[in-house]
A and B are shown apart, each in its own frame.
Chain A
Amino acid sequence: MLAPVTHILANTLIRRERLLPVPGRVLVRKGQLISATDVVAEGNPHPKHLILDIVRGLGLPIEKAEGQIHFQVGSKIKAGDVLAGPVGATRRVVRTPINGQVALIHDGRIFVQIEGQDFQLQAGLPGEVEELIPDRGVIIQAIGALLQGVWGNGQIQTGSLRLRISSPEQELVAEMLDDTVRECVVVGGFCRDDRVISTASRLSVKGMLLASISVDLTSQTSKVPFPLIVAEGFGKRAMNSVAFDLLAKYENQEVSLNAETWDRYRGVRPEMVIPLTTATIPPAPCETTTFTPGQTVRTTQTLESGRIGSLVSLLGFVSFPDGQRAQAAKIRLDAETEIMVPLSNLEVIT
């Protein structure tokens, strides 16, 4: 059975495709070194239009009115430009009141796409532009540690990592945040205290990576001006030990957070990248695998903390206490504890 994969890797080669939702302009060149917050492309997914009625403006029938238009589709126009005319004794003209671009001319009307604020696509991770995708975006390559989360609030930022918990189970409370985390990326455990979020905002933190958050905080965390990534899920959940050990190694190191929403169709998920300089290029992570004994796996139980263990054996169909029958695996959590988990509730950590 194919296994879902989550990456928690100390050193790997990361390739990420960054695409605009609509055709636009790519702003970087191949081979360029970029940071996570650099804008790599821009476009306008929310265009606004203005319709200028040339027929009415000039008082002419459609064919004649269209003959008076001075611009073609695609032309840039500036506020005050005469788009059509002059005609007649009064030298009637039609001017554009705004800057924009002629998008369409139809039935004696000009459809002007109003010049507006373009959507700016950030790189999301620090690295090198490996490939340009014309009009759409780029492929970026980076080397570093990679930690993937399960939920993000959509923001991107970089900063110096500050681990604020001493064990994976420890809860993050507002008192743990002080001036030492100002403009840094805070790493914490479970968080249920809305004061944590408000204090972090007050300290202008550059981002947060939390093991888990209370469901009550989702609305508040969606609105903060910094990226927030949840690594494990909702409700009280400890940070998994593999992630905690990795993060503990990189205290004070510059990291980037891309808190994109997890979307399996687009192949994006929230992640932290810790850029590293290495003499050799490490292997790219394994994106596909099947469940196999010996793998490190994490349980993804809906109402319990995810637990890290080693897959001992595949068991075929097994009955669980609530009566459900499902394909399962035996997982060793530690020297003395083995549990049975449906394969549907497992993911491979690699």
Chain B
Amino acid sequence: MTTSLIDADSLLVLDVGDIKTRAILFDVVEGRYRYLASGFSTTTAGSPFNNVGEGVRLAINDLEAITGRKLLSQDGRLLMPTLQDGSGVDTFSAIISAGPPLKIVAVGLLDRVSLDSARRIAGSAYGQVDEAIGLNDQRKMEERIDTILQLRPDLIIIAGGTEDGAVHSVNRLVDFVSLTCRLLPESQRPEVLFAGNQALRDEIEAKLAPTVNLHFAANIRPSIEDEELDSALNQMAHITTTIRARQLSGVDKLEGWSHGGLLPAASAFGRIIRFLSKTYPSKKGVLGVELGSSVTTIAAAFTGWLTLGVYPHLCQGKNLTTLLNPTNLESIVRWLSIDIPSSTIREYMMNKCLYPANIPITREELAIEQAIIRHQLRFAIESIISGFPRKAVSVGKGFLPWVEPIVATGEILTQVSTYAQCVMMLLDGLQPTGTTTLILDQNQLSSALGAAAGINPALVVQILDSNAFLHLGTVISPVGKARPGTPILRLKIAYDNGQTTNLDVLQGTFEVITLAQGQSARLQLQPLHLYDVGMGAPGRGGNLKVTGGIFGVIIDARGRPLRLPDQPNKRLELMNKWLWNLGG
């Protein structure tokens, strides 16, 4: 679709979250697309409304009140396209993350090959793999069937068979799925996605289509070595919205308004991160982090290759109790910035599950919430790294690959009291390496833009260029091995006004070089002791042009992986010192 700004289209995006529903309006101002405003409401997917429509209406009403622009007709229809009096919008898009976690069964040939890929595909949806069945499953057929029947899954993903590879074994798995589904009541049969050997499509259609809603995607393991998830990711997005439309009243209306363009919010987020990875001049990947009340989403794209991880159990809401085991608690306690007993943390988590929409308003609540976020970010990153493609270059196994930029968003991050707290959570949780930029999507537009990309790419480009996204700062995180206090990086900063500053960065330090918004500077980096700053090889330095952000240049030389002192007093002191260095 071409979008010359002469006949530019306004866009309304509805974002139906688990707790809040947002109506986001974009339009042309002074010849360029701008984000205008957002309206909010509580999501009404659950009781007593049991229809997302009421929340949608209220969010649009709120937006109408903010902008003074009428968007709904008297009878609740969306005014589309824009009328002569300026009311209404030209285009509409919608994203959804509301709904109970999807129950998914993964079926594949080999555990470390097709089943692993099927798990990764499942990980892009708002759900979890409750059961995985491979060819070597030792259970009796009856047991496997009963396990699935008791689970009553929303979706079964079948993978397996490389292209021109296994046929008979895949057929056996498909027969098993077919039989199992036939034993389920018709109203409870799952959607089935086949993403295996494409030579079997006709046979599989004949076996499964009469029983279930069958979807096909390209083979996720075309060969043992290669993994191709794109087609399956797209199908997963479609299947997720299909399931949501069945589960939640009112979703079908959004589908109608968006002409079938409704997307899961995570897929839309992944789409914008992939888009950035294709357009950003850097050869590194792009990392996106969305911290919502009910889910954490990590999207990483390396020159268009997307890895998407959706973690419903990593949230600040109803699934928080999944973290109530001693290992997780110990990890959370280590991230606390004030001394709080672990019993209080457990209490906090249990109560937050009861009231997921609650916001922390005391020092203790805030400290606990931010400690949990650090733990969850760490967990999410460690989980997703194994799924990154080979082209994602990192300094070593388990380290975050080189990425530029990191885009962070979500209710939890954008609501924190200070940008310093936000930056510290991101650095502690993600532990980036080399040089990167931190960008905060403070208006939570990323997923909305991902949805918009399909209908108005020009809008996406212009909003990304606008000041809707906040540049928090450039981060330099040298990686290597040296004793604390050892100089590991020589840095020369040449400001626009001709001034220069030299700095020796010591291992274990955390410093900030102020560079005001709009200012720019040239950095000359010379790593010592074979430290790696992501400029091609350990010990290799280079030049870097940086522009000012909220924090200018952040030098995070605390080490990777970041190891906190075991002594609680020393740990608390350090954490507060680091925060203090950022301005508190």
Query: Which A residues are within 8 Å of any B CB, using their own CB?
Result: 1-2, 4-5, 21-23, 45-51, 103-104, 106, 111, 113, 150-151, 215-216, 218, 233-235, 262, 264-268, 287-288, 300-304, 320-324, 326, 342, 344-345
Contacts and interface: CB of A to CB of B under 8 A. Distances in A.
Given A106-B182, A344-B359, A49 B347 contact: no
B79 to A, nearest CB: 24
Query: Which of the four size classes fits the interface of chain B?
Result: 35 or more
Interface string B394-437: 00000000000000000000011110000000000000000000
A322 B42 contact: no
Leading 9 A-B pairs by shortest Cβ distance: A267-B47, A323-B417, A287-B48, A264-B46, A235-B347, A234-B350, A2-B42, A320-B361, A215-B346
Nearest to B321: A218
7 contacts: A151-B354, A264-B46, A267-B50, A301-B358, A303-B351, A326-B361, A344-B359
B362 A322 contact: yes
B164 interface: no
A322 B417 contact: yes
B358 A345 contact: yes
Contact of B360 (A50, A264, A302): A302
B179 A111 contact: yes
Contacts of A324: 359-361, 366, 415-417
Nearest to A320: B361
Interface string B351-365: 110110111111111
Interface centre among A45, A46, A47, A324 (most CB of B within 10 A): A324
B218 to A, nearest CB: 30
Contacts of B366: 322, 324
Contact of B357 (A22, A233, A262, A344): A344
Contact of B146 (A48, A104, A215): A48
B41 interface: yes
A235 B352 CA distance: 12
Contact of B41 (A1, A49, A150, A235): A1
B281 interface: no
B361 A322 contact: yes
A329 to B, nearest CB: 13
A49 B145 contact: yes
A342 B142 contact: no
Nearest to A319: B417
A22 B187 CA distance: 10
Nearest to A237: B351
Contact of B150 (A45, A322, A323, A345): A45
Contacts of B187: 23
B344 A303 contact: yes
A150 B351 CA distance: 9
Interface centre among B145, B187, B188, B418 (most CB of A within 10 A): B145
B351 A2 contact: no
A344 B182 contact: no
A22 B152 CA distance: 9
A264 B47 contact: yes
A303 B362 contact: yes
Contact of B183 (A21, A104, A345): A104
Nearest to B346: A215
Contacts of A218: 350
A151 B182 CA distance: 37
Contacts of A45: 150, 152
A288 to B, nearest CB: 6
Given A302-B348, A322-B365, A342 B359 contact: yes
A245 B347 CA distance: 26
Contacts of B348: 302-303
A308 to B, nearest CB: 16
B141 interface: yes
Nearest to B340: A303
Interface in B60-100: 99-100
Contacts of B352: 302
A267 B46 contact: yes
Contacts of A322: 360-363, 365-366, 417
Given A262-B354, A322-B363, A324-B415, A303 B347 contact: yes
B535 interface: no
A322 B417 CA distance: 7
Contacts of A216: 343
A85 B188 CA distance: 34
Nearest to A235: B347
A51 B433 CA distance: 56
